[in-house]
C-alpha cells in the first residue's frame, strides 16, 4: 500500500504569527507533528489558500466576518488572508517549500472562489483540483491528514477524501489546530462516523497504518 501525507493550509496566515488574518490558536505549533507524519508517507501533498484583493469574501472590518453570503462559491465573509507575496501566504517555517511536495494545490485564486477542501475548487465539489486523481494514479490507499484549521479546511479535505471512496483516511489531531472547540468536536464526530480514523498522536497514526497493512 502507498501512503500519502496531506498538509492542509499550514500557512502563517492561519497562526498567531499573523494576528490580523485568521489566527488559529497554536497553529504555529504543528510543524513537528506534520513533519513526523510526512516521514511515514511515500508521497507528500499540500495545499495553500492563495487569495487576491478582489476576493468576494473580503471585508475589511474583522467584526463583519463570518456573515453568510448567497454566492455559490463564496459562502461567508472573511478578512483578507493568505495573499500571495505576504507573510500570511507563506508556509510555516520548517515545512518543505511547495516545489518539494509531490503535489500541491493553490485554492481560492479566482476572486469568486473560496473553497475549504483541497480536493475541489468549487463548493459544489464538481471541479477537481486533481488531488484525488494524483493519489489514485500513484496507487495511494491511505492518506494521513493534518493542517489548519481542523474545523474548516482540514475537516472538509478529510471528508472529501473519505467520500471519494478510494482511500482509508487517518486524521492526525496533533498535526492540526482548530478554531471553535465545539465545532472541532462535532466535525471529528461526524468524520469518525463516516469512517475516517481519528488518531490523536503519531503513535495512533502508526497503529492505524499497521492495522491496515496487516489486512492487505
As given in the structure block, the three cell numbers for residue 25 are 490558536
CB 155: neighbour CB atoms within 10 A? 26
Omega prior to 149 cis, within 30 of 0: yes
Contact string (CB under 6 A) for ligand VGL, positions 152-191, x = contact: xx--------------------------------------
Phi, psi torsion values for 16, nearest 5 degrees: -65, -10
Phi, psi torsion values for 86, nearest 5 degrees: -110, 165
- Applying CB under 6 A, which part among 144-152, 163-171, 190-198, 204-212 lies near ligand VGL? 144-152
C-alpha 113/C-alpha 120 separation (Å) is 10
**Grid coordinates 493519489 are at which residue?**
135
Nearest of 117, 121, 120, 126 to residue 151 by alpha carbon: 117
Q: What is the footprint of ligand VGL within residues 47-86 (CB under 6 A)?
A: 49, 78
In whole angstroms, how close is the CB of 203 to ligand VGL at the nearest point?
26
Give whichever of 161 and 209 is closer to ligand VGL, judged by the CB atom: 161
Q: For residue 49, what is the enclosing H or E element? A: strand 43-49
# residues contacting ligand VGL (CB under 6 A): 9
Instruction: Decide if residue 149 touches ligand VGL (CB under 6 A).
Output: yes
Give whichever of 113 and 202 is closer to ligand VGL, judged by the CB atom: 113
Closest residue to ligand VGL, judged by C-beta, is 152
C-alpha 107/C-alpha 114 separation (Å) is 7
In whole angstroms, how close is the CB of 56 to ligand VGL at the nearest point?
13
Which residue in the set 3, 4, 18, 22 belongs to the binding site for ligand VGL (CB under 6 A)?
A: 22
Give whichever of 123 and 148 is closer to ligand VGL, judged by the CB atom: 148
Instruction: Decide if residue 9 touches ligand VGL (CB under 6 A).
Output: yes
Instruction: Decide if residue 14 touches ligand VGL (CB under 6 A).
Output: yes
- Kindly list the strands in the beta sheet with 168-177, ordered across the sheet, starting from the edge strand earlier in the chain: 103-107, 43-49, 2-8, 140-148, 168-177, 197-199
CA dihedral 94, 100, 104, 109 (to 10 degrees): 70
Give whichever of 40 and 76 is closer to ligand VGL, judged by the CB atom: 76
Give whichever of 148 and 169 is closer to ligand VGL, judged by the CB atom: 148
* Interaction site with ligand VGL (CB under 6 A): 9, 14, 22, 49, 78, 148-149, 152-153
Amino acid at each position: 500500500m502507498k501512503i500519502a501525507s496531506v498538509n492542509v493550509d499550514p500557512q502563517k496566515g492561519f497562526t498567531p504569527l499573523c494576528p490580523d488574518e485568521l489566527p488559529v490558536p497554536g497553529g504555529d505549533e504543528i510543524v513537528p507533528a506534520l513533519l513526523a507524519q510526512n516521514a511515514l508517507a511515500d508521497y507528500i501533498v499540500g495545499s495553500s489558500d492563495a487569495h487576491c484583493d478582489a476576493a468576494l469574501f473580503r471585508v475589511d472590518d474583522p467584526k463583519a466576518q463570518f456573515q453568510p453570503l448567497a454566492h455559490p462559491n463564496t459562502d461567508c465573509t472573511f478578512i483578507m488572508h493568505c495573499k500571495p507575496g505576504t507573510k500570511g501566504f507563506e508556509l510555516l517555517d520548517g515545512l518543505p517549500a511547495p516545489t518539494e511536495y509531490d503535489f500541491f494545490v493553490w485554492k481560492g485564486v479566482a476572486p469568486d472562489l473560496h473553497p475549504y477542501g483541497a480536493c475541489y475548487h468549487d463548493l459544489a465539489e464538481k471541479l477537481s483540483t486533481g488531488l484525488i486523481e494524483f493519489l489514485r494514479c500513484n496507487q495511494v490507499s491511505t492518506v494521513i491528514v493534518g493542517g489548519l484549521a481542523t474545523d474548516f479546511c482540514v475537516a472538509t479535505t478529510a471528508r472529501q477524501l473519505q467520500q471519494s471512496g478510494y482511500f482509508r483516511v487517518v486524521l492526525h489531531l496533533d498535526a492540526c489546530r482548530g478554531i471553535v472547540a465545539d465545532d472541532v468536536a462535532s466535525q471529528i464526530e461526524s468524520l469518525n462516523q463516516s469512517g475516517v480514523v481519528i488518531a490523536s498522536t503519531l503513535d495512533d497514526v502508526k497503529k492505524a497504518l499497521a492495522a491496515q497493512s496487516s489486512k492487505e
